[in-house]
Structure 1
Amino acid sequence: MSYLKFEKALMTNLQDSLPRELLRTNRSGAYACSTIVDCNTRKYHGLLVVPVPELDDDNHVLLSSLDPTVIQHGAAFNLGLHKYQGGTFSPQGHKYIREFDCDNVPTTIYRVGGVLLKKEVVFQHYEDRILIRYTLLEAHSKTTLQFRPFLAFRSVKQFTHENPVADRTYHQIDNGISTCMYAGYPALYMQFSKTNEFHFEPYWYRGLEYPKEQERGYASDEDLYVPGYFEMNISKGESIIFAASTSECKPSILPNLFTTEVETRSPRDNFFHCLVNAAHQFHNSAKDGARYILAGYPWFKCRARDQFIALPGLTLSIEEQDYFELVMQTAEKGLREFMEGKPLTVNIYEMEKPDVPLWCVWAIQQYAKAAGKERCKKLYGSLLYDIIDYFMLDKHPNLTLDKNGLLYADAKGKAITWMNSMNNGRPVVPRSGYIVEFNALWYNALKFAAVMEQESGNIERSNTLEELAARCKEAFVDTFLNEYGYLYDYVDGNMIDWSVRPNMIFAVALDYSPLDQKQKRGVLDVCTRELLTPKGLRSLSPKSGGYNPMYTGPQSQRDLAYHQGTAWPWLGGFYLEACLKLYKQTRLSFVERQLVGYEDEMFHHCLSTLPELFDGNPPFNGRGAISFAMNVAEVLRTLELLEKYKY
């Protein structure tokens, strides 16, 4: 029985099918993304969306969509679907869908009278190329197929509209055409595995509308250019493969290429396999050999904090230690460049955030548990040593090591933590001074480094770190723990933030905690009562002032809600780790029940992955980026922890 399969009743009901999206990626950051009925609802949607570094740092939609048309006995049935201004859907090809299945590759079955047509889609791993295979399963008479490509040639942040500047010229190539609408863009090559006729009938389709952009308060309409259509006959049992790419290929290789790509796909036939598949979609390889973890799709790049938090779950938890090492090789280069005050030569954003080196230590710590301390010392011992020294010598431009052993951040008017939303140029959640997760990470880093130094025979260095950790521990409890049993979010002189936020969970979840068992239980209990949802921890308790759990509306409205009550699965991962560490096997069934809330998401929002965040109130709708690395990573890490505590 298929895991990710949807029947005709759901597919033909746009209220149910349009909110479900599907993402396919390759290793360059290019992707194909739309809804499961192939109706684009975001400006980020498209069949071929690729980076164009010659223009800017954004992705660009080259091929927006491809409309197939089945012709029998002179009657044409268009299988495409677009939303136009005024709420009109045309042509309405979704009504011909019989079923949709994406356990292996996205597969749609269309029935048009006596015609049964199967469509399968893959995105080539190491080329910017989308491949679509059409197979005629049944037909009782001569059948012809037509294909109309809708072209955009624009940034994912913009729209295109009918204009006289667009270049309408095209060139015939093997079994297809190449075209380029604007200077600076790569040519788009559209080819078929079968000989066909291209009919040049240039036309602008005006007023296409993207409802997801409307929901988010943005402009939402554009015009798309269709240069004409391809036409060919197809026989029962025959397969025809369409390829769209930034490079030309030989049509004869398309059948084998498609088969090879299908064979390399990891299945999505259960919850775990869905997450593994999603994990691989965040892999990013640069031409210079650098490896990265993208923070999410469709609009995030590689961000330093996100990469270090996501890295263990996306690699070590699924036994892919080699990719951890490749990513760390690139990340270490960038981190060292930053610590040495040199310009970054790697494409990692936000390396300057104060907690980034601390999260790097945490990632190294997870590697030590997976690969062994000896290999960890060999690969990352010097980096660990240098990061600790970097903070002890007060070299970070935005962190100071105080005499009490705590790290102090002067962040007035700045957003330096993961709670980084801004409104009118100011942080929505202003956090400065002694910040709770910074210092929980710092204590954990000191203790881990002390153990590693001791095992390396550096006893004097280990003792120095232990002494600093002891001061840090005492000051941490004195500074953050209040009489109600939870931790202040930050303390800056006389400014104390009493808000109940999830950042205190790290002081319980990390391997080395400055809290004793009773204090940990108190913190965990408050998180459970006030922050826990089926989709992770809320970013703010409903009892705290400013609670704003619904991430909806225009940008300014969403900014005010981003960290003011929304729920985050990656925080839930650390919460569940804390549960298992404190209560061990007695909480196994609770953790399993909590994971059910994430498995439900495999069938909603973007199939087989997890979105960026959820509303903090029921029904806990998924919001933001359709696929988010830290969330996928932490659920995978929780599944791994669950198995370890079972046996």
Structure 2
Amino acid sequence: MPPGSVMTFGPHACATPTGFESEWLVTDGLGGYATGTIAGLRTRRYHALLVTPDRQVALAALDPVLSIPGRPDARLAIHEWGSGALDPAGHQLLESFEIVDSVPRWRWRVGEYVLEREVAMTRGRNAVAVVHRLVAAPPGAEVTLTLTALCTWRDADSERYRTGEPLAVEEHYRLDGPGWKPVGEWYLDAYHREEAARGLNPIEDLYAAGTFAATLRVGETLTVTACSGEDRDEPLPAGPAVVEEARRRARKLVRQAGARAAADKLLVLAADQFIVEDGGVPAVVAGYPWFGRYLRDTMTAYEGLFLHTGRHAEGRRLLQAHAGLGERMRREPLRDADGPLWYVHAVERHIARTGDQELCAELLPAVEAVVAAYTKGTRDGVTVDPLDGLLALDAEHAGLTWMNASLPRGPVTPRDGKPVEMNALWANALGVISVMRERCGRDASVVHGRRDAVRAQFVKRFRAPGGWLYDLVDAGPAPYPKGGSGVHDDSVLRPNQLLAFSLPYGFGTDEPHLRDAVLRAIGGELVTPLGLRTHAPSEYGYEGAHRGGVVARDTAYHQGAVWPWWLGPYTDALCAAGRPVDAVLGAVEGHLGECGLGSVSEIAEGDAPYRATGAPFSARSVAAVLHARAVIRQNCNLQGSEKTKLSREARPRTRRNALR
């Protein structure tokens, strides 16, 4: 991987299965996007050059044909069909694929002729520019470039067919470019191999709306733009200007974050893809290509996306926008049992990092309202047990923690009872209020007492005989035969207990022996190169493969799948224990060039070789790696300072000092 925010792939990667598996992404800052593979093959129903913020797939593809005098036409596109055929197979003419400062670039070579394509989106507008440039040809030569616009208009999670309602493209989005000629034909049985692998319908039809064409000499361009939304009739900047502005913005973001290492630059730009504006307020898309915006994902990813990228002002506005969260918890179900606790954590992390005393005073009532809402009982089934002060989740809402995979029969991993991660967040939230009250000159003694009581009960209730913490206490009937029936404490080894030792106001420093035992158990059974397994392989119920249909994949989702976002808490817990952290991210930098290019996948399989799966672009995963890299750098710097200090103290005295 070259230095800087550049990724390059040669002809072998472009023309082999790597080119069908590695995916690129550009976004518009609103939730819309364009995405596809290196080779140009549409392997997912989501692959398109324009997808709207409300996830309508618009422009599916632009198929280029290069007409060179005296040669057969070079068909540069690639499609797979229901018959199994790859036709055309233009990926065989790709000589390189690059992502330069967030802009993807393809180069096809046909003898002495080289055609380049770049794709960029306008920020704050659902519009894409696809710029083609002839970059090499014999002196004085001309070529004709023709682009066929393959269109649709459908929900990104579905398909469209010729037999459906007539498609009037102009009613939904605008296409602009030179030499337009209507076509009006359907291409039948386009095949998406990734959807087939997920047990979903892999077939759809595409509408060839028309063609664009231009004659090009070296250095000349043909640009096609597509735009949706109420402003689609407003003029767009020239295509090359859209590309240059996207690159300029990417370089600015990298400078703002102070990123120097190549991986850090890529991660800063990856983080930007998830941060969007919603009515003038920052928001976070949980992942591409199919996730939306969720409180839990937003706040879990907050520290990495905003604080480690220098986007403090945007983060501040996001936190302020959620100041009414406690009141919402009283009025309505959020379908999120622990998201508000992650909000409290995000507020504390922002204030601790920025020293923003004004924000501390402003949001203290907001975080107190969150704790008050949990104390009174939420619409999502969370209550405080009056006997021990711990949070309990009722059976009706057992699928509302972060382990939220569900089948028709109910949650795959029920969390009713007292989940360890929710109570670690609960103890942390009480600690946050205590510190914020002290910062604001308010009496914190009452909160101190409640915090200390909860922490004491936490240790008492969650300490398991195996040496680590129970994953659940006072749980309902187990979902598999191991637990039998009736209320029980579940000691299955999962990563959830890490929050007790990684959160700033957990109790890790009070229980070093317990913390060390937990880290040994987790390090021995859950840690993989790309993250932490959600279930120990040695225990009943483990599912190491995440593939097949919906039921098989959802069953494995939290029963063995690896989640990279746990690398953040794991790194924090290791640092708190004084353990080395240098090797935690050893494989992740290589992963940046494997699946979602420059980004980190949502999950991976629990069994070697830990094949990445799920969404190829995940906000929580990127945020965790950004955070872990920052912690590791800080830890190494501290160790370096300590080593320097020790080496100075160990230097031999000069002869003069020795004689004294």
TM-score exceeds 0.5: yes
Work out the CA distance in 2 between the residues paired with 1:251 and 1:447. 51
Among candidates 339, 360, 375, match of residue 377 of structure 1: 360
Change (3 A) 1:608 1:463: same
Residue 410 (structure 1) aligned with residue 394 (structure 2): yes
**In the aligned structure 2, how far is the partner of 1:339 from the partner of 1:251?**
43
CA contact (8 A) 2:336 2:380 kept: no
Please give the alpha-carbon distance, in whole angstroms, between the structure 2 residues aligned to 1:419 and 1:574: 16
Partner of 1:123: 121
- The equivalent position to 2:488 in structure 1, one of 495, 504, 507, is 495
Distance 2:189 2:491 in 1: 50
- In 2, Cα distance between equivalents of 1:394 and 1:152: 47
After superposition, give the CA deviation of every residue in 1:326-374 in whole Å (9 maximum; x if it has no partner). 21122224x14413416xxxxxxx8342212211111111112111162
Q: Structure 2 matches for 1:170-319, cutoff 5 A?
A: 179-180=169-170, 186=172, 188-192=173-177, 196-246=178-228, 247-250=232-235, 253-266=238-251, 270-286=262-278, 288-319=279-310
SS in 2 for 1:603: coil
* Residue 81 (str. 1) matches residue 78 (str. 2): yes
Distance (whole Å) between structure 2 residues aligned to residue 395 and residue 238 of structure 1: 62
**Equivalent pair of 2:96/2:106 in contact (CA under 8 Å):** yes
Q: Which residue of 2 aligns with 1:386?
A: 369
Shift of 1:251: 7.2
Go from structure 1 to structure 2 and tell me whether the alpha carbon gap of 1:251 and 1:458 turns closer, same or farther (over 3 Å shift): closer
Counterpart in the other structure of 1:627: 617
SS at match of 1:473: helix
Structure 1 residue aligned with 2:58, among 56, 62, 82?
62
Q: Quote the offset at 1:558 in angstroms.
A: 0.6
- The Cα shift of 1:412 comes to 4.7
Q: Secondary structure at the match of 2:521?
A: helix
Deviation at 1:560, TM superposition (A): 0.8
Q: 1:436 maps to what in 2? A: 420
Structure 1 counterpart of 2:381, from 368, 389, 398: 398
AA of the residue aligned to 2:68: Q
2:464 paired residue among 466, 482, 485: 482
Matches within 5 A, 1:4-43: 4-13=7-16, 15-43=17-45
Inter-CA distance 339–227: structure 2 relative to 1 (3 Å threshold): closer
For the residues of structure 1 that align with 2:439 and 2:97, how far apart are their CA atoms? Answer: 55
Report the equivalent of 1:143.
143
- CA apart distance, 1:26: 1.1
The alignment partner of 1:358 has SS state of helix
Amino acid at match of 2:299: F
Maintained 8 Å contact 2:331/2:379: no
Helix, strand or coil for the counterpart of 2:117? strand
Report what 2:50 is aligned to.
Answer: 48
Give the equivalent residue in structure 1 for 2:342. 359
Q: Which residue of 2 aligns with 1:548?
A: 543
Deviations 1:8-66 (A, max 9, x none): 122122x1210111111111111001101111100011111113xxxxxx511111000
Letter in 1 for 2:86: F
Pairwise CA distance, 1:106: 0.9
Offset, 1:129: 1.1
The number of aligned residues is 606
- Judged with a 3 Å threshold, the aligned counterparts in structure 2 of structure 1 residues 451 and 255 are, in CA distance, closer, same or farther, namely closer
User: Does 2:456 match 1:465?
Assistant: no
CA distance in 2, matches of 1:395, 1:138: 65
Q: Within 5 Å, give how 1:490-529 maps onto structure 2.
A: 490-492=472-474, 494-515=487-508, 516-529=511-524
**SS in structure 1 of the partner of residue 632 of structure 2:** helix
Please report how far the alpha carbon of residue 249 of structure 1 lies from its aligned counterpart in structure 2 after TM superposition. Answer: 4.9
Please state how far the C-alpha of 1:483 moved relative to its aligned partner.
Answer: 2.3
Q: Distance in 2 between matches of 1:339 and 1:422?
A: 23
Counterpart amino acid of residue 412 in structure 2: V
Structure 1 match to 2:607: 617
- 1:206 and 1:292 map into 2 onto residues whose CA distance is 38
Q: CA deviation at 1:618?
A: 0.6
Contact 2:319 2:347 in 1 (8 A): no
1:455 to 1:328, Cα distance in 2 relative to 1, 3 A: closer
Q: For 1:450, what is the secondary structure of its paired residue? A: helix
Pair 139,248 (structure 1): closer, same or farther in 2 beyond 3 Å: farther
**Residue pair 1:412, 1:430 contacting (<8 A) in 2 also:** no
Q: Deviations over 1:135-187 (max 9, x none)?
A: 1112233211101000111111111111374146xxxxxxxxxx43xxxx52x
Superposed CA offset, 1:564-601 (max 9, x none) = 01111111210111001111xx51xxx23221211111
Q: CA deviation at 1:468?
A: 1.3
1:102 partner SS:
strand
Structure 1 distance, partners of 2:162, 2:10, is 38
Question: Are the aligned partners of 1:612 and 1:626 in contact in 2 as well (CA < 8 Å)?
Answer: yes
The alpha carbon displacement at 1:394 in A equals 3.9
Q: Which amino acid aligns with 1:100?
A: F
Structure 2 equivalent of residue 338 of structure 1: 328
Structure-1 separation of matches of 2:432 and 2:182:
66
Q: Structure 2 vs 1, CA of residues 396 and 452 (structure 1 numbering), >3 Å: closer, same or farther?
A: farther
Q: Which runs of 5+ in 2 are unaligned?
A: 476-486, 639-660
Alpha-carbon RMSD: 2.0
Are the equivalent residues in 2 in contact too, given 1:152–1:160 (CA < 8 A)?
yes
C-alpha displacement at 1:469, in angstroms? 1.7
Residue aligned with 2:21, SS: coil
- Range moving further from structure 2, 438-447 or 552-561: 438-447
Q: What does the per-residue CA deviation read over 1:371-410, in whole Å, with 9 as the maximum and x for residues that have no partner? A: 1162442331221222222233445552222232211221
Instruction: Say whether residues 1:324 and 2:306 are aligned partners.
Output: no
Letter of the structure 1 residue corresponding to residue 222 of structure 2: I
Provide closer, same or farther for how the CA distance between residues 257 and 593 of structure 1 changes in structure 2, counting only shifts above 3 A: same
> Percent identity among equivalent residues?
28
Aligned AA (1:614): A
Q: What amino acid does structure 2 have at the position aligned with 1:626?
A: P
Quickly say closer, same or farther: Cα 1:397–1:108, change in 2 above 3 A. Answer: closer
Name 1:574's counterpart in structure 2: 569
Do residues 103 (structure 1) and 100 (structure 2) align?
Answer: yes
CA pair 198-290 structure 1, distance change in 2 beyond 3 A: same
What is the Cα deviation at residue 424 of structure 1? 2.3
Aligned twin of 1:112? 110
Asked if residue 565 in structure 1 is aligned to residue 560 in structure 2, the reply is yes
Q: Match of 2:554, as an amino acid?
A: D
Kindly tell me: are residues 257 and 44 of structure 1, through their superposed partners in 2, closer, same or farther at Cα, counting changes over 3 Å? closer
Aligned with 1:541: secondary structure? coil
Task: Give 5+ residue unaligned stretches, structure 1.
Answer: 52-57, 169-178, 343-349
2:159 aligns to what?
Answer: 159
TM-score (norm 1): 0.90
Local SS of the residue matching 1:444 = helix
Cα deviation 1:301-330 (Å, max 9, x = unaligned): 111111111111100011210111121122
1:216 and 1:158, CA in 2 relative to 1: closer, same or farther beyond 3 A?
same
Q: Which amino acid aligns with 1:84?
A: W
Displacement of 1:252 after TM fit? 7.3
Q: Is the 8 A contact 1:508 1:524 kept in 2?
A: no
Change (3 A) 1:150 1:388: same
> CA offset at residue 299 of structure 1?
1.0
Give the letter for the 1:65 counterpart: A
1:303–1:351 CA contact under 8 A, matched in 2:
no
